[in-house]
Structure 1
Amino acid sequence: MARFVLQMTFKGDSGRRLAARPAHREHLRGLLGAGKLVTAGPWGDDSGALHVYEVAGEEELREILARDPYTGADAYEITLIREWRPILP
């Protein structure tokens, strides 16, 4: 398993994103329960978010993102996807 950091920037049309938010958060809760998501949350200014995933590799992460309701709503742009190797819990 590998840990990946995903940074996203929300796109200008917040109406679509806010409409998709309940389904997006349910999607994240399912990933957390399955052990695929370590943590996630928006920036304080709500301009984007940071997620940390624990997955087999980047291909699995991209499959997860393809199923995210925010992806279907075209609500964000990926700013960063990077494998991360934390040294502390």
Structure 2
Amino acid sequence: MQWYAVEMSFYADESLRRQWRPAHRDYWQGLADRGVLVGGGLWPDGNGGLLMCRAADEEALWSILHADPYAIGRVITSVRVRRWNVQMGERLLEPPEPAAHPREPDLTPHEHRIARLVLDGKTNQEIARQFQVSSRAVELHLTSMYRKLGISRRAQLARALSVVALAV
């Protein structure tokens, strides 16, 4: 696991940040719970911040950053990533072990196919036509996926899938 310092700058438009802030906070809280985000904070003017993260490699870190709701909402104007070489006190910097959570069951291959179509913006009816099933069958698959991922809405699916993938 590598350590990284991530510096982000945000657009000055407070209304844009306010629109995406709850999802952004939830996203990073989930990563903090899993030991990916180990520290950080905002600049005093609120137009950016510094995150200290752990990831397998820089490519994995960029995947994490691209899934941030601020990135999706185009709130971020620039990102600077630097590998952080912890010289002293790495044991002091280790995040606490997350509370033991029962591992959610993996999605079936068919549920992954449905999830991909949902993330591509397809409606239940369109997905049903593609698989030649009823829209009720698609709804039942989505309900099963939501239960497995601990979510309740279609809008939470992308975040839940990225967090499950990061937890591995």
Q: CA RMSD in A?
A: 1.2
The offset of 1:79, in angstroms, is 4.0
Rounded to whole Å, the distance in 2 between the matches of 1:21 and 1:15 is 10
Corresponding position of 2:68? 68
Question: Amino acid of the residue matched to residue 66 of structure 2?
Answer: A
DSSP-derived class of the 1:50 partner: strand
More helix by share: 2
Question: Amino acid of the residue matched to residue 36 of structure 2?
Answer: K
Rounded to whole Å, the distance in 2 between the matches of 1:80 and 1:7 is 5
Query: Is the Cα–Cα contact under 8 Å of residues 17 and 70 in structure 1 kept in the other structure?
Result: yes
> Which consecutive unaligned segments of at least 5 residues does structure 2 have?
93-168
Query: Is the Cα–Cα contact under 8 Å of residues 14 and 75 in structure 1 kept in the other structure?
Result: no
DSSP-derived class of the 1:44 partner: coil
Q: Which deviations, in whole Å up to 9, do the C-alpha atoms of 1:58-85 show, x marking residues without a partner?
A: 1111111111100011111234200001
Count of residue pairs the alignment pairs up:
89
Corresponding position of 2:127? none
Q: Which of the pair has the greater relative contact order for Cα pairs under 8 Å at 6+ separation?
A: 1
Rounded to whole Å, the distance in 1 between the matches of 2:71 and 2:63 is 11
Corresponding position of 1:13? 13
More strand by share: 1
Identity of aligned residues (%): 35
TM-score (structure 2 length as normaliser): 0.50
Question: Amino acid of the residue matched to residue 70 of structure 2?
Answer: Y
